Amino acid sequence: MTETTEYAAPSRLEALRALPWRNAILAGIGATITIAILAGAADLTALPLIIAPFGASCALVFGAPASPLAQPRNVIGGHLVTATLGLLAFTLIASPVAAMAVGVGLGIAGMLLTGTLHPPAGANPIVVVLAAASWQFLLMPVAVGAVSIVLIGYIYHRIVTGHAYNVLPKR
């Protein structure tokens, strides 16, 4: 038996590891600026403008701006869909454990059905239940925060990185 070595294309993980230092640093700076703006505005105004899933959204928007999962429709739509379904589950299901589980499941299904898959948003139903959030949660922090991340990402990539952001699919 002869042993042959075949060339294999690098895996996605290897491709991520090979991300140039400049891009990695710029992605980190973009995320830092975005979270500082949201957290700073929340601190100054005493309004709820930030939730943990926004950190993960920044990882996609600044670290993988061309990813379909990082596009504005996915960031904003994914957060709105999952927060809505999480709030619905929290409102209708007495058990917090069941509300979280059903909310996450419905949220993922909802994102897939609406073409707005954004993995960080999958955590929103958990945040809803743990915070005992009201329906105002949809406006603040979800809508305001998600739109802010997209706007800051668009401006940042346009001015600083030169990467394409808001890459629309070819039809």
Phi first, then psi: give them for residue 170, nearest 5 degrees: -75, 135
Domain assignment present for 27:
yes
Parent domain of 48: 20-161
Instruction: Report pLDDT digits (tens) over 66-80.
Output: 999 999 999 999 999
Total domain count for the chain?
1
Reduce the DSSP state of residue 162 to 3 states and report it: coil
Domain assignment present for 15:
no
Domain assignment present for 4:
no
Instruction: Report pLDDT digits (tens) over 86-117.
Output: 999 999 999 999 999 999 999 999 999 999 99
Instruction: Report pLDDT digits (tens) over 31-49.
Output: 999 999 999 999 999 999 9
Judge if the upstream peptide bond of residue 48 is cis by omega within 30 degrees of 0. no
pTM for the whole thing?
0.86
Q: What's the pLDDT at 167?
A: 67
